[in-house]
Every structure is written in structure tokens, then in C-alpha cells.
């Protein structure tokens, strides 16, 4: 798909763009930054939305406002949903644009709910209800080995912030300010959110100890090894046996907030040079999930 975009762009503009598929989130960031410091970096990179502040601290990120956007460019930027642009601005300037944004939701196995004596059409609304349901959904064989976890959420690098951020939102808390200059991890609500996540394993024994990886969640869910997972929305995954619901649960009834978005954004680097030159040269992006 990206190769096709680059070829079409070259036909229209005469500018050649060479895509480089650099690996996962962390690998792409490392390769892009290393190449830039060596004077051989890309003009653009598709990276995690959360990397914007890190790139600013390295003084290698260009503001699209400083580069200068023509009327068509401004119209294009204005076409994005405001929610997906919320973390693109710092100090009144635009620093990145959405590439592949997504919103995590909850998937749950309705058959497993019925088997555990739970109502498949009434997903838990509070943390206490969710912990109770996840405990009932967890299955063990005669030896005590878990054959189905009640709930699994991602805790690996690049994805743990979705899980923790969601629980913090549900507690009525934001983990950082809008400018990205302060974090609030020591706030009682932040501690409460992390404690709840930890308790799902340590106290309720309803989720595995240690780190569950993002990529393993869908296979575990579809194979019946997890009754509930948190993952990004997939329109093609609709199935009568499975339920979908937003992350707007709450610590108490009515307290939950809508889920926050995540995913990839396109960043332009200072070495792109003069306005209008940002699309020249190599573009580094991560390998697609289903390449």
C-alpha cells in the first residue's frame, strides 16, 4: 500500500519518495534517530503518537506551521477528526498528523459469560463488577492450571500506556498535562488505577502475572484462552458470539470516561530543509501488522 502511495505521488509531483520498512515501534524510532544524528536520516517517519515530545526534546522535529502549509495542506489537516488531532499540538503549533489512529475497546466472549452464569448482554459497569466477572470467567483444570483467563490486557512496551491510561481515565484522571511537560503518576487516582490493574492478577487471579503482549491478545481471545481483552477496534471482527463495548467503565457507576486514542502519526524532521521539501527522500515507517 505504501509503495503504491509513493509511486502515485511521484507520478503526480515528480518527487521520488523511497519507503523503508524498519521494524516495530521501537526499532523504527531507533533507526530513524540514529540515521538523523549521522546526517543520513529520513525526512519523515511513522512513529507512535507518544514519541512527539521525545523528538521535540532531541530538537529534530519540525513544526508543520513553521514549514508553511498552503491552502490545500490546511484543508487536508482540517479534515481530521479533532479528537485525533488533540495530541498533535504543543504551544500552539502543529507537530504531527495522524497516519493510522485507533481507539481501544473491550471484546468479550458472550458464550463464556453465559457459561459462568453472567448476563452476556450486560457487561460490567464498574471496576468491582469487572473484577468479579473476570474471576468467575477464569477457568482452571483439575491440577489448577488456568485454561482460560477472565481478562487479558497488554503490558508490553508501546502498549502498556493504553492499558494504564484507560484505567486512569476511568478513575477520572489524566496522566500528563496538555503540553507534555508534567506527569501526574503520584496522584492518588493514578496510584489507584495502577493498583487495580495489579490486583486483577495479584488479588483476583483473573489475569496472568507479568507482561501480556498486544499481539497475543486476539489469538488468545479467538482460541478461547481469554474471555475478555482490550484491543483496538476491528470492524471485520464482528461475530455474534462476541460482544464489543467501549472502555468507558468506571471505578464507580457513572464515573467512566470515553477511551483515548492511540496509534501512529507522521512526523517531519528538521533536516527536511526548506518548506516544500519535506516529502523528498526516504520515509521510514514500521512494518504493517499484516505485511
Spell out the per-residue pLDDT of the chain, length 291, in tens: 889 989 998 999 999 988 888 888 788 899 999 999 888 888 888 888 778 888 888 999 988 888 888 899 889 889 988 878 877 888 888 988 888 777 788 999 999 999 999 999 999 999 999 999 999 999 999 999 999 999 999 999 878 888 999 899 899 999 988 777 899 999 999 999 999 999 999 999 999 999 999 999 999 999 999 999 998 866 545 566 888 887 766 666 555 555 555 556 677 777 654 443 334 334 444 444 433
Q: Which residues contact 138 (CB under 8 A, 6 or more apart)?
A: 146, 148, 149, 150, 205, 206, 227
Main-chain dihedrals φ then ψ at residue 195, nearest 5 degrees: -65, -40
Cα–Cα distance between 265 and 179 in angstroms, integer? Answer: 17
Torsion of CA 62, 65, 70, 74, to 10 degrees: 110
CATH topology of domain 103-262: D-Maltodextrin-Binding Protein; domain 2 (3.40.190)
Smallest CA-to-CA distance from 106 within 174, 157, 153 is with 153
Are the folds of 2-95+269-285 and 103-262 the same? yes
Task: Please state the pTM of the whole predicted model.
Answer: 0.74
Domain spanning 2-95+269-285, CATH architecture:
3-Layer(aba) Sandwich (3.40)
Sorted by where each begins, the domain ranges of the chain are 2-95+269-285, 103-262
Largest CA distance in the chain: 68
Amino acid at each position: 500500500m505504501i509503495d503504491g502511495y509513493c509511486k502515485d505521488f511521484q507520478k503526480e509531483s515528480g518527487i521520488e519518495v523511497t519507503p523503508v520498512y524498519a521494524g516495530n515501534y521501537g526499532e523504527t524510532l531507533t533507526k530513524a534517530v540514529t540515521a538523523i544524528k549521522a546526517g543520513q536520516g529520513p525526512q519523515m517517519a511513522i512513529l507512535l503518537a507518544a514519541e512527539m515530545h521525545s523528538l521535540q526534546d532531541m530538537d529534530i522535529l519540525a513544526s508543520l506551521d513553521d514549514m508553511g502549509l498552503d491552502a490545500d495542506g490546511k484543508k487536508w489537516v482540517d479534515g481530521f477528526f479533532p479528537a485525533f488531532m488533540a495530541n498533535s499540538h504543543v504551544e500552539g503549533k502543529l507537530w504531527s498528523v495522524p497516519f493510522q489512529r485507533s481507539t481501544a475497546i473491550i471484546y468479550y466472549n458472550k458464550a463464556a459469560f453465559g457459561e459462568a452464569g453472567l448476563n452476556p448482554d450486560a457487561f460490567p459497569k464498574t471496576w468491582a463488577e469487572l473484577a468479579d466477572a473476570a474471576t468467575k470467567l477464569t477457568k482452571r483444570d483439575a491440577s489448577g492450571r488456568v485454561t482460560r483467563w477472565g481478562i487479558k490486557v497488554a503490558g508490553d512496551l508501546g502498549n502498556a500506556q493504553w492499558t494504564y491510561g484507560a484505567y486512569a481515565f476511568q478513575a477520572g484522571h489524566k496522566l500528563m498535562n496538555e503540553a507534555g511537560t508534567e506527569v501526574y503518576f503520584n496522584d492518588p487516582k493514578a496510584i489507584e488505577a495502577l493498583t487495580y490493574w495489579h490486583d486483577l492478577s495479584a488479588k483476583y487471579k483473573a489475569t496472568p502475572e507479568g507482561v501480556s503482549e498486544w499481539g497475543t491478545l486476539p489469538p488468545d481471545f479467538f482460541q478461547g484462552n481469554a474471555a475478555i481483552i482490550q484491543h483496538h477496534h476491528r470492524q471485520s471482527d464482528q461475530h455474534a458470539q462476541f460482544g464489543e463495548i467501549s472502555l468507558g467503565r468506571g471505578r464507580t457507576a457513572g464515573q467512566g470516561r470515553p477511551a483515548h486514542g492511540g496509534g501512529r502519526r507522521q512526523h517531519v524532521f528538521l533536516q527536511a530543509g526548506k518548506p516544500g521539501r519535506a516529502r523528498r527522500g526516504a520515509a521510514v515507517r514500521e512494518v504493517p501488522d499484516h505485511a
